[in-house]
Amino acid sequence: MADNISTAVRKKKSKRSVPYGQVHISASFNNTIVSVTDTKGGLLTASSAGACGFRGSKKGTAYAAQVAADKAILSAKQLHGISKADVYIKGIGQGRDAAIRSLASHDVSVETISDVTGVPHGGCRPPKARRV
């Protein structure tokens, strides 16, 4: 019976060195998500305000975004040795500026900052006019 069970041995994934990467910050009104990727977009580390222990309306605050960015950047520096980064910001929440400031405090030099917030070209159909 023990012959049927496959005993596949998995190799431990080696931590690759990524000195230059991208930091994607998604700042909504309810939460802030910070993802650190390599230049091709492959995820290295990620963190969010909810994952850092903030609940409810506190997830949308600037302090929660700062804590989430700290956690993501520290793990990216320790595991992958990231030192330079391009920053891409999406959304209009309170955590936009706080997350960028925490990057600079951890000796990660910010090369470029790009706002990639979606803008509607035409958008949804407007509601019909009110008749009073």
Rg (CA), the chain: 20
User: Could you tell me the two tokens for 88?
Assistant: 């891409």
Whether 43 is covered by a domain: the verdict is: yes
The answer to whether 55 and 87 have CB atoms below 8 angstroms apart is no
Q: Structural domain of residue 34, as residue ranges?
A: 28-115
The pTM is what? 0.80
Contact call for residues 58 and 64 (beta carbons, < 8 A): yes
> What digits encode the pLDDT tens for the residues 26-77?
999 999 999 999 999 899 999 999 999 999 999 999 999 999 999 999 999 9
- Alpha-carbon distance 68 to 72, whole Å? 6
Instruction: Specify the CATH number for the domain of residue 110.
Output: 3.30.420.80
Dump pLDDT digits (tens) for 93-122: 888 999 988 888 888 889 999 999 998 898
Torsion over CA: 78, 79, 82, 88 (sign): negative
| Beta-strand relationship, 84-90 and 43-48 | unpaired
The pLDDT of residue 89 is: 95
Residue 4 domain-assigned (yes or no): no
